[in-house]
Amino acid sequence: MRIAIIGTGYVGLTTGACLAAIGHEVTCLDNNAAKIETLRQGKVPIFEPFIEEILEEAKDRMRFTQSYAEAIPGSDVVFIAVGTPSMADGSPDLRYLREAAAAIGEHLGGGFTVVVNKSTVPIGSGNWVESLIRESRGGRNGKVEFAVASNPEFLREGSALQDSLYPDRIVVGTDSPRAVDVLSNLYRPILEQSFTAPSYLKRPEGMAAAPLVTTDLASAELIKYAANSFLALKISYINEIGRLAEKVGADVTLVAKGMGLDARIGTRFLQAGLGWGGSCFAKDTAALVATAADYGLGMPIVSAARTVNQQQRERVVEKLLGELKIIKGKTVGLLGLAFKPNTDDLRDAPSLDIARALVARGVSVAAFDPVAMERAKSEWAGVSVKYCETAEQVAEGADAVVLVTEWAEFQDLDWEAMAKSARSPFVLDGRLFLDAARLAKAGWRCARI
Ligand code: UGA
């Protein structure tokens, strides 16, 4: 089938690469000329494991353009995967969605097209996109046949390709049975798991098929917010339990294991620590609260999850004060900047709040991340952080080291040498990730968030 994808961020590019890999003809469009040029040269503007490999494999079926006239006419499916950043009041900024819908409307033609909202968009956006498309066609001649659908994505950065090719489910919300047929055909190789798995992205053992959940537009839109908010509150819940565990002398990781093995609860997303960051959970929980407020509804559970998450970040300063007593004039090293491992994404990363809070208290902050350093240097221009060349350097002369992102390689650092180079070998494990016994042997005093 012929597919157009508007927006080449994490969602758009991953979706495009996966659809091309399973045999579709994909045109990716972005209004950022530099991004399109980079992609045309076979380079990738984001960090995502195996994205280079899959783009290389699918390159004969992928094109990159800035032109709607090139991408839209004749497409069977047009995915809108543009950014919807939060505005000051928590509601999403829909200007890119509006622009995309209007431009799609101007260029639709050449047969039935399904226009799909893939970005996380407010409830009601499906109907809004449909009206924008009709409006933008205005008095133009010729009847075009199109339908709008919501097809939220559930991919995680860092395992975006795995999540797209081997999803737990695919959700399609639309009022058009014809659109359901088109999207079922589009996703058939994934639904039936009939495509040949790439050697670097093996099919999970026992995976035979993925369920398709078909709904109306509003339900599909709400599924996305409800799912992300539930994952977010699961994390905040275990973090709240973690605070009590510390007081009563329990180990929250054991509590999480013992709870999570109940199949009704599940072990995933019960990893206690600094809490969630990234582009999705903060934005989506805020949007859910804002949407509910429009209808005069409070969302006390989701709101509490947001509060707990923010407090986890503030606990870093509290813990350092508890250990070092005076932190003004001291040096703190941060291990990890990205909001989670295997990505260079710094959006809503706990590291930024932590660095800012420390700098505001007169602390010198040194930091290292395996992939997010260049991004941090350009995106955090106003924050005074010393960027180190190696993880080990973070400990040099430090009064404390904080593990902020659980990159696997941080477990295998030369912690013995680092303890010797630190002014005071104290490590605060923000992700309950380090082997405390090993670190103690290497000379570190260890604490957990
Ligand atoms: C999240 C969802 O997991 C995806 O299903 C969804 O598609 C995506 O948002 C989105 O809406 O686009 P993502 O933000 O990429 O994906 O990353 P996650 O793996 O969910 O991690 C989010 C944050 O939660 C990270 O900061 C991570 O460190 C933290 N986390 C995760 C925990 O603190 N504990 C956990 O047990 C799991």
Out of 18, 28, 280, 388, pick the active-site residue: 280
Count of residues in the chain: 449
Name every residue whose Cβ is closer than 8 Å to that of residue 280 and which is 6 or more positions away in sequence: 120, 228
Partners of 448 in beta bridges: 429
Give residue 138's pLDDT. Answer: 77
Give residue 141's pLDDT. Answer: 53
In what side-by-side order are the strands of the sheet with 331-335?
Answer: 385-387, 364-368, 331-335, 400-403, 426-429, 445-448
pLDDT in single tens digits along all 449 residues of the chain: 999 999 999 999 999 999 999 999 999 999 999 999 999 999 998 889 999 999 999 999 999 999 999 999 999 999 999 998 878 776 788 999 999 999 999 999 889 999 999 988 889 999 999 999 999 987 665 678 999 999 999 999 889 999 999 999 999 999 999 999 999 999 999 999 999 999 999 999 999 999 999 999 999 999 999 999 999 999 999 999 999 999 999 999 999 999 999 999 999 999 999 999 998 999 999 989 989 999 999 999 999 999 999 999 999 999 999 999 999 999 999 999 999 999 899 999 999 999 999 999 999 999 999 999 999 999 998 899 999 999 999 999 999 999 999 999 999 999 999 999 999 999 999 999 999 999 999 999 999 99
Whose C-alpha lies nearest to ligand 1, atom 1? 156
Give residue 140's pLDDT. Answer: 65
Give residue 142's pLDDT. Answer: 60
Q: Closest Cα partner for 417 from 449, 444, 378, 436? A: 444
Catalytic (active site) residue 280 = yes
How far is the centre of ligand 1, averaged over its atoms, from the C-alpha of 106 (Å)? 36
CA distance 346 to 199: 30
- Domains of the chain (ranges; CATH) run 2-215 (3.40.50.720), 226-301 (1.10.1040.10), 307-448 (3.40.50.720)
Give residue 437's pLDDT. Answer: 96
Give residue 86's pLDDT. Answer: 78
* Ligand 1 atom nearest to 157, measured from its CA: 15
Give residue 110's pLDDT. Answer: 86
* Eight-class DSSP state of 67: -
The dihedral built from the CA positions of residue 185, 189, 190 and 192, taken in this order, carries a sign that is positive
Whole-structure pTM value: 0.93
Tell me whether strands 331-335 and 364-368 are parallel, antiparallel or unpaired.
Answer: parallel
CA distance 175 to 153: 19
Residue 200, exposed/middle/buried by CB under 10 A (0-12, 13-18, 19+)?
exposed
Q: Is 426 left (phi over 0), alpha (psi -120 to 50) or beta?
A: beta
Lining ligand 1 with CB less than 6 A are 120, 153-157, 228, 231, 235, 269-271, 273, 275-278, 280-281, 339-340
Q: Closest Cα partner for 15 from 7, 209, 98, 204? A: 7
Q: Closest Cα partner for 336 from 406, 387, 431, 277? A: 406
Ligand 1 pocket: which of 48, 153, 156, 309 to mutate (most atoms within 8 A of CB): 156
Inter-residue contact 211 to 247 (CB < 8 Å)? no
Counts of helices then strands in the chain (DSSP H, E): 16, 14
Whose C-alpha lies nearest to ligand 1, atom 18? 156
How far is the centre of ligand 1, averaged over its atoms, from the C-alpha of 74 (Å)? 36
Whose C-alpha lies nearest to ligand 1, atom 19? 156
How far is the centre of ligand 1, averaged over its atoms, from the C-alpha of 276 (Å)? 7
CA distance 417 to 391: 12
Ligand 1 pocket: which of 280, 306, 311, 431 to mutate (most atoms within 8 A of CB): 280
Whose C-alpha lies nearest to ligand 1, atom 10? 280
How far is the centre of ligand 1, averaged over its atoms, from the C-alpha of 88 (Å)? 22
Give residue 201's pLDDT. Answer: 96
Ligand 1 pocket: which of 340, 346, 404, 429 to mutate (most atoms within 8 A of CB): 340
